[in-house]
Structures are given as structure tokens and as C-alpha cells.
Amino acid sequence: MSWIDELRWRLEPVAGTVSLDRATVLAVLGCALAGGHAVTVGKPRGPGRVLSTWAGYPAPAVVGAAMVWLAGRGWSAALVAAVIVALVVALFRVRSALTLVVVLTALAGAGALWWWRDDATQARVLVGSGIVLLIGAWRHLAAVWGSSDRSSDPRVLASLTHVPSFVWNLTFAVGCAAATWVVGSEVLLLWA
């Protein structure tokens, strides 16, 4: 088998659906992501600032839902390859030794997952990671929901747009709820 054939085999989608066992799903539901802090640079006002500030809360949920959806449709190998590319690009943005260790560890794990292709394992890892992202998005939304901190994203958005912060919190919740619906639907399909 040539290296082109080998690469093509690792990227093509699996035929049919991938079944998940209940233990995998239940184990992943207990996980949540650690917090982070984003710093927005650029123009202090405008639609780009509003969009980038708003996207921080529903983005992990949306990415997680996309991961679960793609894994459920057999695109795990291609998605793992995309994750590897994203991690290689992220290497150029690393600013600390700990971040370098984390990115290299994730890159090694994704590389091993891609190289020793096992469609069921890839799907389980991606579904699990997607659920963790979804839980993390809800956790961060809960942390900011009642915050009176002027530097919280809902307060920053309120000052940028004159739309009350509770409305911004509602939009975050709608984005997370839509992603939750997608993940729930896919997990029920995969679990059956």
C-alpha cells in the first residue's frame, strides 16, 4: 500500500453508524472543562468586537455538537486529521511551557488516534470530547449568569450595544441549548 493509499484510508469516512456503549456515554457525562480567560484585541467597538465577545460562550458547545454530529455520521477520521492540523497551527501560538506540554500531549494523542485508526475508538473519543465541550460551555454560562463583574462578557456586551446583559445571557443559553439538542439527538441515535 502506498503512502497515498494509506493517507486516503485514514481520511475516508467509515461506512454505516458507530454504536456507543452506555458506559462510555455515562462516564463522559461526568466531565467538565477547566476555565480559561480570553483577551480580545483590536477595535474597542464594532460588530467584530461584539461577535467575538459573544461567541466565547456558545462556541465550545457548537464545536462539541459538530464533533458529535460528524462522529455519528462516520467522519471521525477526517475530523481527527483536522484536529491534528489545528493543533499544529496552535503550536505557533504557544506562549508558555505548560501550554506547550498540553498541546504536544494532545497532538500525540490525536496522532496516535489517527495513525492506529480504529473507527469505533475514534468515534467514542470524539463524542466524549464533544460532550465535555458541551458541559464546559454550560458550566461557564452558569458561572457568568449572575455575575455583577463589569469585565464579564455579558456586561461588556451590554456596554458595547446598550442591550441588557440578561438578554446576552439568554442568547448564550439559546446557543448552548441548540447544541445540547443536537448532541442529545445524536447520542440517542448512536446509543440505540
Domain extent listing, the chain: 42-74+118-191
Q: Give the model's confidence band at 41: pLDDT under 50 very low, under 70 low, under 90 confident, else very high.
A: low
Q: Give the model's confidence band at 36: pLDDT under 50 very low, under 70 low, under 90 confident, else very high.
A: very low
Cα–Cα distances (Å) from 99 to 13, 90, 103, 126, 186, in that order, read 31, 10, 6, 21, 32
The count of other CB atoms within 10 Å of the CB of residue 47 is 10
Q: What is the DSSP letter of 163?
A: -
The count of other CB atoms within 10 Å of the CB of residue 146 is 9
Identify the pLDDT of residue 156. 86
For residues 160 and 53, the answer to whether their CB atoms sit within 8 Å is: yes
Q: Give the model's confidence band at 104: pLDDT under 50 very low, under 70 low, under 90 confident, else very high.
A: very high
The count of other CB atoms within 10 Å of the CB of residue 11 is 16
Write the pLDDT tens digit of every residue in 113-172: 999 888 889 999 999 999 999 999 999 899 888 777 888 888 888 888 889 989 999 999
The answer to pTM > 0.85 is: no
For residues 179 and 61, the answer to whether their CB atoms sit within 8 Å is: yes
Identify the pLDDT of residue 67. 95
What average pLDDT does this structure show over 167-190? 92
Share of the chain above pLDDT 90, in %: 46
User: What's the CA gap between 69 and 67, in Å, rounded?
Assistant: 5
